[in-house]
């Protein structure tokens, strides 16, 4: 089985450097263009199903893929981004000045942070990984699945796959509209085939 993990494209909050979790922000024009280029790339794998976080910015990407590939989109709440609570929409500098203790801990050891009014990385990783396992169980070994999700959610999944401690979470980066691929076998073995690929994007959309 191939699991193709797609991050959504640019939103205005991404462009402005604002933290974006569960707030339902749509793609901006550049993000739509990225989604269209990403859709043309991923349909080459002749996927069986398209799964997506239910937030607008991921659903827009999933719908572009669906229109080209002819497969319906199934919403999976477990693929949603980290809930940021009070930190939705703030910038890094605003976090540093308004929530200094959270900022320092998030920078030094993100494992110990529960976002004020939101989630911890461990909670995110557990629900995203469990959603992935459920989808694996629902499909045959030779099928290809596309999962459209978010920055922290995809990184949490990949970190779990690689056995990476969440304390090292910030050692990974994931570009907008990037593609990661995971192979899974019937024996429960999984391996990362590619990570953070953006070669499908035109230069102005990278």
Query: What angle is formed at CA 141 by the lines to CA 140 and CA 147, rounded to 5 degrees?
Result: 80
Q: Which two tokens stand for residue 46?
A: 């002749």
Distance CA 46, CA 151 (A): 24
Q: Which two tokens stand for residue 164?
A: 């990476």
How far apart are the two ends of the chain, measured CA to CA in Å? Answer: 28
Contact 98, 46 (CB under 8 A): no
Q: Which of 139, 155, 165, 118 is nearest to 22 (CA)?
A: 118
- Residue 81 among the catalytic residues: yes
Alpha helices in 11-140 (DSSP H): 12-16, 29-42, 56-69, 92-98, 100-108, 121-137
From 8, 47, 150, 200, the catalytic residue = 8
- Residue 139 among the catalytic residues: no
From 37, 41, 64, 81, the catalytic residue = 81
What b/e sequence results for 67-92 when a residue is b if at least 16 CB atoms lie within 10 Å of its CB, and e otherwise? eebebebeebebbbbbbbeebbebee
Active site residues: 8, 81
């Amino acid at each position: 089985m191939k699991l193709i993990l797609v991050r959504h494209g640019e939103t205005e909050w991404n462009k402005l450097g604002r933290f974006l979790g569960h707030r339902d922000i749509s793609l901006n024009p550049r993000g739509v263009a990225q989604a269209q280029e990403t859709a043309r790339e991923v349909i080459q794998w002749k996927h069986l199903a398209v799964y997506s976080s239910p937030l607008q910015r991921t659903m827009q990407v999933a719908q572009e893929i669906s229109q080209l590939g002819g497969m319906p989109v199934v919403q999976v709440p477990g693929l949603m981004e980290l809930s940021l609570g009070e930190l939705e929409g703030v910038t890094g500098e605003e976090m540093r000045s308004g929530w200094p203790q959270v900022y320092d801990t998030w920078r030094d050891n993100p494992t110990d942070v529960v976002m004020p009014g939101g989630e911890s990385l461990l909670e995110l990783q557990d629900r995203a990984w469990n959603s992935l396992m459920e989808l694996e169980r629902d499909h045959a070994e030779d099928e290809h699945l596309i999962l459209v999700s978010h920055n922290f959610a995809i990184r949490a999944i990949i970190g779990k796959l690689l056995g990476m401690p969440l304390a090292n979470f910030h050692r990974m980066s994931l570009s907008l509209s990037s593609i990661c691929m995971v192979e899974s076998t019937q024996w429960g073995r999984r391996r990362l085939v590619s990570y953070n690929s953006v070669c499908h994007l035109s230069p102005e959309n990278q």
